[in-house]
Structure 1
Amino acid sequence: MTETEFWLGFHLVPGIGATRVARLLEHFGSLAAAWEANVEELRAAGLSERVAGKLVATRRRISLEREMERIARAGVSLVTLADPAYPRLLREIPSPPLLLYVRGTLTPADEHSIGIVGTRRASAYGREMTRRLTGDLVRAGLTIVSGLARGIDAVAHRTALEMGGRTIAVLGSGVDVIYPPEHRQLAEQVAQQGALVSEFPLGTPPDGPNFPVRNRLISGLSLGVVVVEAPRRSGALITANFAADQSRTVYAVPGSAMAPGSEGPLQLLRDGAVLAASAADILSDLKLTVRQANLEARQALPTTSEEADVLHYLDGEPRHIDEIALESGLAISRLSALLLEMQLKGLVRNVGHQHYVRA
């Protein structure tokens, strides 16, 4: 049997984490010896009778060889705490998971990762801010980490994929159980261009208690966590709390004080989060000055006075073409053609139903 199989075995025992495995290694000299020990020997190594009993029961219940075969058939790899490929940032958090189930690949480049999370009921403003932040952070060379949920999470993953960047989706289920089910295609794309990650065994359903555990990994894999939109009670705020506990920076995107989705970010700002109105705010706070300079150099600029005039009436809040025409004095026919040209140049974005924002 391989060392990875024994890491898997201990991972499947309730109540055994990194600290207890370290004690067992110190006492027995190897995970193989610890795995084969009886209850009395395990108690002598510092395990309680209850935990020692669970270990013995798990050992009787499962075949590690067959479990490894099942994992391999699913196209999943295991990255253990002893593996050099285990994410450095995650290794630094309190009680890191003994192993990760991974579909896709984790790379050294993922050490420069940012978590982007928010409400499932994202507004047009929230979606647009997520696209902007994600696009600029990807251009700056960062990996985007999120939770594959509806709303802000999905926009962050999709934007990273569209930009040709890396993205990691952390699941509150087994990596073979995609939730929500309509994100199966998105999950496949993430696995091809990044990784699906979970600490839950294959076949684990997306039960409610799993998601705070999932959120702890989103922040643990990231240099910092950006909360775009979130109501006062939100999983995104749980992720932000984990980030603070893990000594990671929390960034909050400002929004309208009258919008329910702004309640969470505004509370985070009151509690000391860093304001993130642009990717430059995040890059500057992380002292990624070279990347920041590259980002600013890539920003599109208007080339005609008409383009500059239209941009004067646009910001991050979607505006309908009729409203822009009324304020700018341009005919709808001319404005429509101009907005199309500006979209192609990357100056504006159509967010749907002829509503536009500055890009």
Structure 2
Amino acid sequence: MALDAIPSLQKRKIFTLLSHYSIEQLFSLNAEQLAKHKLKPEQINAFLAPNSTHITHCLEWQESAADNHIISYGDPRYPALLKQITSPPLLLYAQGDLSRLEASQIAIVGSRSCTPYGQQKAHDLGKHLAQAGFTVTSGLAIGVDGMAHQGALKGSGSTIAVLGTGLNNIYPRRHVKIASEIREKGLLLSEFWPNAPAYPSNFPRRNRIISGLSIGTLVIEASLRSGSLITARYALEQNRDVFALPGSVDNPQACGCLKLIQQGAKLVLDANDIITEYPELNISEAIHQKQHKPTKNKHFLLDMIDYHLTSFDTILARSGLDVVTLQNELIELEINGIIIAQPQGYIKLEG
């Protein structure tokens, strides 16, 4: 903890130092010896006078609840896959069931502003993968992350949320309830000390842990500038599998996934497409797929509404109906749960 509290000391530098010294030896070096390793003055001062307040606070946090854990890099509970990445965290703060770290993990990431289609797919894939025996790992963000966690909780409860904040500071606040359920049934994880706030720079760092814990990363709805593509890039750098859910070429939220598929990511239609990639895990493919309704009585308007946002004016032009008739037909489809209304238009859910 004292080493982790050294200001602005990068993980690579820490592991370089640890390749020459034990932790005890490091903190026994004098200022001149530390300076030879090109450390900054404030870093040298932190070695010479460790932040005892920080250390005490972290230890008190660990002792405050039976399911609070601090796992160091040398701890046998530290995930073996995470040790393989370029810059593994020196410490992991955890709340919940540590056995979730022992199961094979699949990361599910994607857009915060995902469509209803993306929300449903994230929920269903999270549920089916958890039911099959995987631990579903994500970042607790709104959108795809949150839906994947909720699906996994309904599946078997096997889910891990990796936070970009300390575990005393759940972010986003709207997911406090989900975080509480994950702590009860799964695991909350962070490399940041318990009261760490939500600095923007924390979240890209968090992404390397999400992919690093997992044997594969599934991306659901990501624009070309999405942070989820950072996680996919980390997965590739870590020699892990990358999966992507396809979407419409006209949907900006699907363009990142389509680009990944172009670059070699495996196209995923359902959980079995992931399960079959890992025959050595002996995971059953017996997943109940949604039964599609017969299409002989399909409403004619469904051919004019896309699975991504379609404006009223576009549907009006495609259908040739008058405004009042079209409004009535759309209301009927919405009541029947076949489409969903959005402020800028409609999205088809079925058909």
TM-score range for the pair, normalised by the shorter chain length: 0.7 to 0.9
Mapping of residues 149-298 of structure 1, within 5 Å: 149-287=141-279, 290-291=282-283, 294-295=284-285, 297-298=286-287
2: distance between equivalents of 1:272 and 1:281?
15
CA deviation map 1:285-311 (0-9, x unaligned): 2335732xx23x342687xxxx96379
Task: Give the secondary structure class of the aligned counterpart of 1:186.
Answer: helix
- How far apart, CA to CA, are the structure 1 residues paired with 2:57 and 2:290? 59
- Partner residue of 2:74 out of 70, 75, 82: 82
SS at match of 2:47: helix
Which residue, out of 106, 115, 120, partners 2:112? 120
Pair 1:55 & 2:46 matched? yes
Q: Report which stretch shifted further, 170-179 or 109-118.
A: 109-118
User: Which amino acid is the alignment partner of residue 103 of structure 1?
Assistant: Q
1:2-17 residue pairs with structure 2 within 5 A?
Answer: 8-16=1-9
Deviation at 1:21, TM superposition (A): 4.2
Query: Which ranges of structure 1 fall in alignment gaps of 5 or more residues?
Result: 1-7, 319-338, 340-348
1:118-173 Cα offsets, whole Å, 9 max, x none, are 11112121112112211221121000000101011010001111112310001111
Quote the offset at 1:115 in angstroms. 0.4
Q: Determine the C-alpha separation between the residues in 1 that align with 2:228 and 2:289.
A: 32
The one-letter amino acid paired with 1:262 is A
Identity of aligned residues (%): 35
SS at structure 2 position matched to 1:116? strand
What residue in structure 2 maps to residue 34 of structure 1? 26
What is aligned with 1:299?
A: 288
Distance between the aligned counterparts of 1:160 and 1:102, measured in 2? 19
- The 1:301–1:160 alpha-carbon spacing in structure 2 relative to 1, beyond 3 Å, is closer
Distance 2:120 2:296 in 1: 16
Once the two structures are superposed, residues 54-87 of structure 1 have per-residue CA deviations (whole angstroms, 9 ceiling, x without a partner) of 5336615646345412443366311111001001
Equivalenced residues, count: 314
**1:180 & 1:154 partners in 2: Cα distance?**
10
| Structure 1 residue 32, shift from structure 2 partner | 2.4
Q: Compute the TM-score of the two structures, normalised by the length of structure 1.
A: 0.77
8 Å contact kept, 2:117–2:349: no
Q: Are the equivalent residues in 2 in contact too, given 1:13–1:58 (CA < 8 A)?
A: no
Which residue of structure 2 lines up, in the alignment, with residue 333 of structure 1?
A: none
Asked if 1:309 corresponds to 2:294, the answer is yes
**Between 171-180 and 51-60, the greater mean CA deviation after superposition:** 51-60
Paired amino acid for 1:56: F
Partner of 1:103: helix, strand, or coil?
Answer: strand
1:285 partner SS: coil
Unpaired runs of 5+ residues, structure 2, are 309-335, 342-347
Distance 2:269 2:290 in 1: 19
1:323-342 pair list within 5 angstroms: none
1:234 shift after superposition: 1.0
Question: Following the alignment from structure 1 to structure 2, what is the Cα–Cα distance between the partners of residues 52 and 300?
Answer: 56
Deviation sequence 1:251-271 (CA, Å, 0-9, x none): 110011111211110111122
CA pair 62-258 structure 1, distance change in 2 beyond 3 A:
same
1:299-329 CA distance string (max 9 Å, x none): 2687xxxx963799699969xxxxxxxxxxx
For residue 277 of structure 2, what is the amino acid of its counterpart?
Answer: D
Query: Aligned equivalents of 1:256 and 1:16: distance in 2?
Result: 44
* TM-score normalised by structure 2 residue count: 0.78
How far the C-alpha of 1:92 sits from its partner, in A, is: 0.7
CA distance in 2, matches of 1:135, 1:264: 23
SS at match of 1:262: helix
- Paired residues of 2:128 and 2:155 also in contact (CA < 8 A): no
Aligned twin of 1:68: 59
- Report the residue type matching 1:209 in the other structure: S
Task: Work out the CA distance in 2 between the residues paired with 1:201 and 1:351.
Answer: 44
For the residues of structure 2 that align with 1:109 and 1:101, how far apart are their CA atoms?
13
- 1:133 corresponds in structure 2 to 125
2:86 corresponds in structure 1 to 94
Amino acid at match of 2:294: D
**1-side partners of 2:239 and 2:340: how far apart?**
39
Q: Is the 8 A contact 1:39 1:49 kept in 2?
A: no
Secondary structure of the residue aligned to 2:107 is strand
The 8 Å contact of residues 218 and 244 in structure 2, kept in 1 or not, is answered as yes
Q: Do the aligned residues in 1 keep the contact of 2:5 with 2:51 (CA within 8 Å)?
A: no
How many Å separate the matches in 2 of 1:233 and 1:150?
17
